[in-house]
Amino acid sequence: MKSFSYLLLTGLISITPFALNAELINLSTPKTSLVLDATKGQPLRILHYGDKLNKQDMDGFRTSTSVHHEAYPAYGIYPQGEAALSVTHSDGNRTTQLEVIDVETEEIDGATVTKVKMKDKFYPFEVNVNYKVRPNYDVIETWVDLTNNEKGNVTLNRFMSGYLPIRYGNVWLSSLYGTWANEAELTEEPLSHGVKMIKNKDGVRNSHTAHGEVMFSLDGKPQENTGRIIGAALCYPGNYKLFVDTDDSDFHHFFAGINEENSEYHLKKGETFTTPELALTYSEEGLSGASRNFHKWGRDNRLHAGNKERKVLLNSWEGVYFDINEPVMAGMMEDIASMGGELFVMDDGWFGDKYPRNVDNSSLGDWVVDKNKLPQGINGLLETAKKNGVSFGIWIEPEMANTVSELYEKHPEYIVKAPNRPVIEGRGGTQVVLDLSNPKVQDIVFEVVDTLMTKYPEIDYIKWDANAPIMEHGSQYLSADNQSHLYIDYHKGLMKTLDRIREAHPDVTIQACASGGGRANWGILPWFDEFWTSDNNDALQRVYMQWGTSYFFPAIAMASHISASPNHQTFRRIPTKFRADVAMSGRLGLEMQPKDMNDEDRAICKQAIEDYKKIRPIVQFGDLYRLQSPFDKKGVASLMYVTPEKEDAVFFWWKTETFMNQQLPRIPMAGLDPEKEYVVTELNRIDNEPLPFEGKKFTGKFLMSNGLEIPLTYKVDYHKNTDFASRVLRLTETK
């Protein structure tokens, strides 16, 4: 534990005495400041979150405002306003009154954690509000530890991760909603009086229906590359609640944390409850600026192996669904290898002995190879993969069982189920959720991965799926008194299990899939290398879904596959070129039976893989600049990635609709160095002749003021014309 004054010297924290005993704490990142008043004997107050304040600003700024909200408002005294914390103390008292006792700082792995220690004025109930600041990231993480030192149990009724007052004005909220196969749709709306709530109650998959991340534009309708933005991401994989209460004060009051509904939590004497982190960012470079802050912070600090390039893969699901067998798997491995891919992933359908998994109504829980389909077992597949020079990956769904499974027959007590109620069954009419609050179930889930990886250490990739919500509120493990702990203890159990898995198997790549994009959240990504963005692979709809997802998550984590045409979800026919150009803007993969492709399509995929390998570092580690939103319905969407040194960039342009003689906006680029000169090369070219600006040089200034004129169609042989058009341009600095 470092002394507070030691940290002052680092410049990450500074304090300014304001009144007698007042301690202003200025938590600063390269471009932002969070200013708190941690005066002892008073509740902690928040004075500023936004641009970076220097010493002079700090000296003067208290005179610029008389407003100082509690940083973690507790319920009970003047209970009319919303609170971040609501507690029933051991004697039944429902009021809490906090005062600062002390401030401590600690350096953990290069980050500085400031812990403001508070206590109830009467009860021995402690509330530590924590802030983590990392020197090179404009993101501040905040979370709270709640400790009961009272004589008896304390009940936590609400226990948010954080609260932020945002000054009343023309503030707009950007948030994501959606559903299966239509994830991450964007909503932008001005905040008006009343409450806007964003929540999830699925129990397992928390980024279907809505997302636990939001952006606030402080300057009216949000813009991509200008304007002040506050971004907030709740780092939690379970049920959440984010809400903004715009009351008659001068503020929009933003709260984010675990959804407390039906989740009151009992703390025994001596126990501590730690909330998940709420990550906050501030940018004056618009929505894209806030996204870049999240991406950089997330890649370097939260996403598992966030700095390791991801492989180009073929997943078997849409190619063959459950029809897995050795020759088909071998054919797929050979095909992806011949196209330049690096990994083959065998999806659902490979397991089950007593109950073979031929459709989705059985076998989850029985993670043994179906010898009828795969007589040589996993070893045989690994050998074939090796022969073809590709890595091998496998699908599992370890948190789940089917009532038609050997696991369920032996252990019906392991599933989530309410007493005196019939079992509620999900997918396939038989799927049930294992009760991860139970340590024995945690062991089973650990063993699914551990056994696979111990027996077959060459497995390179796991697709970890989760295809059911909690369908009835009941734990056969938790006591009657603690049934309300189910949602939270499920996730505590999951995270504990994932810790064990990662400790034993740090190198295997693991994808978080949950009925498609149900697990895109920063709470799960410390253990996962990527997430499945959606079960909908329709490239046109993907432009929208990936746009929304990119608000908070970097391309390296966003799995994006070229699938068949007609598309299996929308039945839209989209040419391979467009499908490839969309998939290349995320973590590229294929998901189809390559045998069904004609030579021309195969050549396009091969070219796309070759080109993707060239731009992979730019897409996977570069800075994202979104340029033209598909949600603006201008007929085109466009974004680009630029390396941090700004010497290499890749520009994506997708037409989202086609009408004759339509006028599309010309797209000025962003993020380049105005002084540098860039040469333009088209990737994935299908035209008979190059674009007029192919190989030509332009300054960054020109490209950012004017953009390039992108033709509406291709110059191809007549029969190859389609109503889709897209372009991928690489911009390389010339020296």
Binding site for ligand GLA (CB under 6 A): 317, 347-348, 360, 395, 465, 467, 513, 515-516, 532, 535
End-to-end Cα, the chain, rounded Å = 49
Q: CB 210 → ligand GLA: shortest distance, Å? A: 18
Partnered with residue 394 across adjacent β-strands are 346, 462
d(CA 325, CA 341): 21
| Nearest residue (CB) to ligand GLA, 114 versus 536 | 536
Residues 37 and 18 sit within 8 Å (Cβ to Cβ): yes
d(CA 589, CA 580): 9
| Nearest residue (CB) to ligand GLA, 14 versus 536 | 536
Q: Which residue's Cβ lies closest to ligand GLA?
A: 348
Tokens of 194: 């009343």
The phi and psi torsions of 441 (rounded to 5 degrees) equal: -70, -40
d(CA 605, CA 299): 28
Q: CB 303 → ligand GLA: shortest distance, Å? A: 20
d(CA 371, CA 443): 26
Tokens of 283: 């940018």
Using alpha carbons, select from 190, 9, 165, 167 the residue that is nearest to residue 84: 165
| Nearest residue (CB) to ligand GLA, 28 versus 536 | 536
Q: CB 530 → ligand GLA: shortest distance, Å? A: 13
Q: CB 631 → ligand GLA: shortest distance, Å? A: 24
**Sign, Cα dihedral of 542, 543, 548, 554:** positive
d(CA 729, CA 442): 48
* Dihedral in degrees, nearest 10, Cα atoms 380, 386, 391, 392: 0
| Nearest residue (CB) to ligand GLA, 53 versus 470 | 470
Indicate if 465 belongs to the active site: yes
One of 138, 465, 601, 648 is an active-site residue; which one?
465
Residues 625 and 670 sit within 8 Å (Cβ to Cβ): yes
- Degrees, nearest 5: CA angle 239-362-465: 35
Residue 182, CB-side half-sphere exposure with 13 Å CA sphere: 7
State the amino acid at position 657 in one-letter form: E
Using alpha carbons, select from 388, 139, 176 the residue that is nearest to residue 283: 139
Contacts with 125 (C-beta within 8 Å, 6 or more apart), sequence order: 87, 89, 96, 119, 146, 147, 148, 149, 150, 154
The kind and range of the H/E element at 45 are: strand 45-51
Q: CB 380 → ligand GLA: shortest distance, Å? A: 22
Name the 3-class secondary structure at 56: helix
Q: CB 515 → ligand GLA: shortest distance, Å? A: 5
The phi and psi torsions of 82 (rounded to 5 degrees) equal: -75, 150
Task: Convert 4-44 into a string of H (helix), E (strand) and C (coil).
Answer: HHHHHHHCCEEEECCCCCCCEEEEECCCEEEEEECCECCCC
Q: CB 654 → ligand GLA: shortest distance, Å? A: 23
Tokens of 666: 């010309």
| Nearest residue (CB) to ligand GLA, 477 versus 532 | 532
Distances (CA, A) of 710 to 407, 654, 664: 57, 10, 9
Q: CB 531 → ligand GLA: shortest distance, Å? A: 10
DSSP-assigned states of every residue in 206-233: -SSSEEEEEEEESSSS--SSSB-EEEEE
Residues 129 and 159 sit within 8 Å (Cβ to Cβ): no
Q: CB 318 → ligand GLA: shortest distance, Å? A: 8
d(CA 522, CA 512): 11
One of 335, 435, 460, 535 is an active-site residue; which one?
535
Q: CB 595 → ligand GLA: shortest distance, Å? A: 20
| Nearest residue (CB) to ligand GLA, 177 versus 322 | 322
Tokens of 204: 């397992």
Distances (CA, A) of 231 to 243, 275, 395: 14, 19, 34
DSSP-assigned states of every residue in 441-458: HHHHHHHHHHHHHHH-TT
Distances (CA, A) of 703 to 302, 502, 699: 34, 44, 6
Q: CB 534 → ligand GLA: shortest distance, Å? A: 8
Tokens 């229906």 sit on residue: 209
Using alpha carbons, select from 525, 466, 468, 521 the residue that is nearest to residue 498: 525
Q: CB 407 → ligand GLA: shortest distance, Å? A: 17
Q: CB 259 → ligand GLA: shortest distance, Å? A: 24
Indicate if 51 belongs to the active site: no
Residues 388 and 308 sit within 8 Å (Cβ to Cβ): no
Just list the catalytic residues.
465, 535
